[in-house]
Amino acid sequence: MEVEGQDTAINITVKFSGRSIPISVSLDSKIKDVKSLLQPLTNVLPRGQKLIFKGKLLVDGMTLRESEVTNGAKVMLMASQGLHQGDGPILKDAKTRPISRANTSSNKTVNEKIGVLFDKNRVERWKVTGVIGLAECNLKAIPEEVWTCGPSTRVLDISNNFILDVPAQIGCLSSMQKFLLNGNGMLDECIKWKGLTSLKHLTVLSVSHNNLSTLPSELGALCSLRQLHVSNNKLSSLPMEIGLLTQLEVLKVNNNRISNVPMCIGDCSSLAEVDLSSNLLTELPVTFGDLLNLKALHLGNNGLKSLPSTIFKMCLQLSTLDLHNTEITMDVLRQLEGWQDFDDRRRSKHQKQLDFRVVGSAEFDEGADKL
């Protein structure tokens, strides 16, 4: 990776966590600029980086030339614990329930393995209550008996199984309000989203702890959605169609790889809680100021250095703000219009025991921990 506008460029290799990262920089670049260059390559915030060359700690205010770093040099990067964006340099695997070893040697069908789970009485109860609870049943597929429940289904919970196919047939559950499929190890192609577009009454969709890398445009057709949980996946972005979810109140996309949020997020006018913590964000769109119903915003473990200028002025219900392990300082916050009113609200709500991961202190935690 190269730095633009360099006069005397040199190539150096940064050793980090068993990796060798080649970069090209100007001899007159300051050490703090090199750290900023390394941030997206390592997911370590600049203030969490310690660069060491020939046994000496490199000082932020000095240039590479002054530090006697030459072409071909090898520099070691040490990261302070807890100062990663995106929940650390190594993405956590999606969590799924451990495979049960019971009956592994038999040739029984999935239904037979779980005994009388799908007897006639059980299916009738599903139809009467509208609740189909199949979490942690070692399922590899959605049982055929589920489809017989049709429009009577209100809730389908297939979390923590090994299901790798949500067929278009899911659309026959046309009255479903909650669909939970966390922790199945699903890839993008596992979900037939066109089938989900028929679920016009769906208010809660939870696909956390899977292996999804994208959310499709079909998501925008879920016009009744109030809660969307997609945390602990491998998402790099959010679709533009998310702006169509005007009823959405809770959005949880923490622990992904998201580097930017689309401007249309401001169209989600009902949003009250947003969790974007542990991603790769360096800025937020100005349209966050349009979220007039926003009450809680979680942004910890990102590379943010500032907030939209209107967020305190316009978001008059905001009372919970988590900025733990970001680059945002108190000086930055105090310069934003409406800061004092926000500060009064959050003090009142938390009664001076703030929800900023600081116990027994009334001070705002802007995440600027001392190294």
Domains of the chain: 9-79 (3.10.20.90), 110-350 (3.80.10.10)
| Residue 118 pLDDT class (50, 70, 90 cuts) | low
User: Would you state the pLDDT for residue 47?
Assistant: 82
Q: What is the pLDDT of residues 226-276, one digit of tens each?
A: 999 999 999 999 999 999 999 999 999 999 999 999 999 999 999 999 999
Residue 363 buriedness (CB in 10 A; 0-12 / 13-18 / 19+): exposed
Percentage of the chain beyond pLDDT 70 is 82
The residues pairing with 78 across neighbouring beta strands, listed in sequence order, are 50
Burial class (CB in 10 A: 0-12, 13-18, 19+), 271: buried
Phi, psi dihedrals of residue 22, rounded to the nearest 5°:
-80, 135
The alpha carbon dihedral of 36, 40, 46, 51 has a sign of negative
On the 0-12 / 13-18 / 19+ scale of CB atoms within 10 A, 340 is: exposed
Task: Note the pLDDT tens digit of each residue in 42-96.
Answer: 888 888 889 999 888 999 999 999 999 999 999 999 887 655 665 544 444 444 4
Q: Is 155 exposed, middle or buried (0-12, 13-18, 19+ CB in 10 A)?
A: middle
Would you state the pLDDT for residue 232?
95
Read off the DSSP letter of residue 140: S
The continuous run of DSSP H or E covering 41 comes out as: helix 31-42
Regarding beta strands 49-53 and 273-275, do their DSSP bridges make them parallel or antiparallel, or are they unpaired?
A: unpaired
Q: What letter represents residue 273's amino acid?
A: E
139, 164 Cβ separation under 8 angstroms: no
Residue-wise pLDDT tens digits, 310-361 = 999 999 999 999 999 888 988 999 999 999 999 998 888 776 444 444 443 4
Give the type of residue at 164: L
CB 96 within 8 A of CB 59: no
Helix (H, G, I), strand (E, B) or coil at 287: helix
Closest CA to 51 of 91, 78, 19: 78
> How does strand 250-252 pair with strand 273-275?
parallel
pTM for this prediction: 0.74
Closest CA to 261 of 253, 250, 272, 270: 253
Tokens of 185: 């190890």
Q: With H, G, I as helix, E, B as strand and everything else as coil, classify residue 16.
A: strand
Any idea what DSSP says for residue 2? B
Q: Is 275 helix (H, G, I), strand (E, B) or coil?
A: strand
